[in-house]
Amino acid sequence: MTSWRTGKRLENCFRKAAAAWERDTCINFRQGKPGDYIFVTDLGCYSSYVGRKGGKQILSLRSYCEVELGNAIHEIGHALGLYHTSSRYDRNTYITVEPDIVEKYPNEFRIVTNEESENYETEYDYGSVMHHTQNVHYPIMFPADENYRRTMGSHIISFTDLWLINKHYGCLGWITSLKMVDLNFCPVPTCEIILFSLFKRFEMHLTERSCP
């Protein structure tokens, strides 16, 4: 449990990171009634499940993450369903990960099969916000293209990241469903849907949990 002040810092940080996803996708975050929701808290680290798990889903950010906003954006990307770029089933074509690191952190660096994930025919993106950054003093990943040796990863959302989310949630059409991701700083999350067009938005509350 955190103090009110710490809680407000955490909430402000989350909202800024969430706004980065909302800006160019049809994803939106709302507070409301109980259901499936994201519970944002500070467990002293950055962590999130990948995709929707149902019920209360914990997303941990550090309370001072406003100065590390890219990390918060990254974790929200996980909650929306994005794996690490370096977990793609074709990753060995593009990077080599130090074997000792893979052995030490198997969950962090495991390859996700194409049966478990969908890349929507996107190219491997060294500049994705979901790609691990490189420590130049202690490199653990080695790109096939040496031009990316010092520039893997990013603190901002790439075009590929946006494409994956928009494609997965059906945001690319003239009128699409805006998938609501519930969050909880206080116990009132809800499940909503917004119809989105180029000209206007319509918002309504649902009686059933219809979010993806």
Tokens of 109: 């660096």
Strands (E), the chain: 28-30, 37-41, 47-48, 56-60, 95-97, 141-143, 176-184, 192-196, 201-205
Expressed in angstroms, the distance from the first to the final Cα of the chain is: 29
User: Does 75 participate in catalysis according to the annotation?
Assistant: yes
Which residues line the annotated binding site? 74, 78, 84
pLDDT band at 158 (very low <50, low <70, confident <90, very high): very high
Give the C-alpha separation, 1 to 5, whole Å. Answer: 12
Residue ranges of the binding site for Zn(2+): 74, 78, 84
Catalytic residue among 22, 66, 75, 121: 75
Q: Is the model's pLDDT at 185 over the cut of 90?
A: no
pLDDT at 107 over 70: yes
pLDDT category at 191 given cuts 50, 70, 90 is very low
Residue 134's pLDDT is 84
Domains along the sequence of the chain with CATH: 2-81 (3.40.390.10), 83-171 (3.40.390.10)
